[in-house]
Structure 1
């Protein structure tokens, strides 16, 4: 068992210090972190607490899981490693086509691009796309 704990169903008003104080009754708290929204600064309603030892972490799970904190019953269990996320779509630069050019803003491709995940979508080259051999802007019609 690890000594890092996931704490869910937190009241949105709880901050790092309050979270650490609540778990201090079960042993030494190495760190307590409430996860916050990047843009708004509002709590996401969950956090992580790292206890000093595995025994203290087990005691904290038994003592805090399904117990109320400011009117909400907490969910406390051992933290798992973060799972890898799939790549995110990008809006800058577009996709690279098979001749080394780029589609511009919004991307797209001419249907010949193949990724390891299957064929790419057909569509226009977006804004500011590279001109093809005949002088047409790829963003004009999407096909040539």
Structure 2
């Protein structure tokens, strides 16, 4: 399972996101997509954790939380079509 994290600050780094989710368990991977044209971060990212229980706890706790001046959206990522 992967976690979608939206409404992120454009100044965020992968290390910032990893440190927040590390409070809920082992973070396996963090990915912040870049815009193809501007090479800027797109304001959302994905986090993978070591097990489903840790991911569920992180989603329940962080969804709607204020972080870096923004109310972040955290939920289960939907698979790409």
Task: Say whether the fold is shared (TM-score over 0.5).
Answer: yes
- Whichever structure has more strand as a proportion of its residues is 2
* Runs ≥4 residues deviating over 6 A: none
1:63 offset after TM fit, Å? 1.3
Q: Deviations over 1:77-128 (max 9, x none)?
A: 0011112xxxxxxxxxxxxxxxxxxxxxxxxxxxxxxxxxxxxxxxxxxxxx
Give the corresponding residue for 2:14.
16
Aligned with 1:53 (options 39, 51, 54): 51
Question: What SS does the aligned partner of 2:32 have?
Answer: strand
* Structure 2 segments unaligned to the other structure (5+ residues): none
Give the corresponding residue for 1:72.
70
In structure 2, what is the Cα distance between the partners aligned to 1:79 and 1:20?
17
Provide TM-score, normalisation by structure 1.
Answer: 0.54
Q: Which has the higher contact order (CA 8 A, sep 6+)?
A: 2
Please tell me whether Structure 1 or Structure 2 has the larger radius of gyration of its CA atoms: 1
In structure 2, what is the Cα distance between the partners aligned to 1:30 and 1:59?
16
In structure 1, what is the Cα distance between the partners aligned to 2:56 and 2:45?
17
**Structure 1 vs Structure 2 CA RMSD:** 0.9
1:38 offset after TM fit, Å? 2.2
In structure 2, what is the Cα distance between the partners aligned to 1:73 and 1:35?
19
* Structure 1 segments unaligned to the other structure (5+ residues): 84-144
Residue 44, structure 1, aligned to residue 52, structure 2: no
Say how many residue pairs are matched: 81
In structure 2, what is the Cα distance between the partners aligned to 1:15 and 1:40?
17
- Whichever structure has more helix as a proportion of its residues is 2
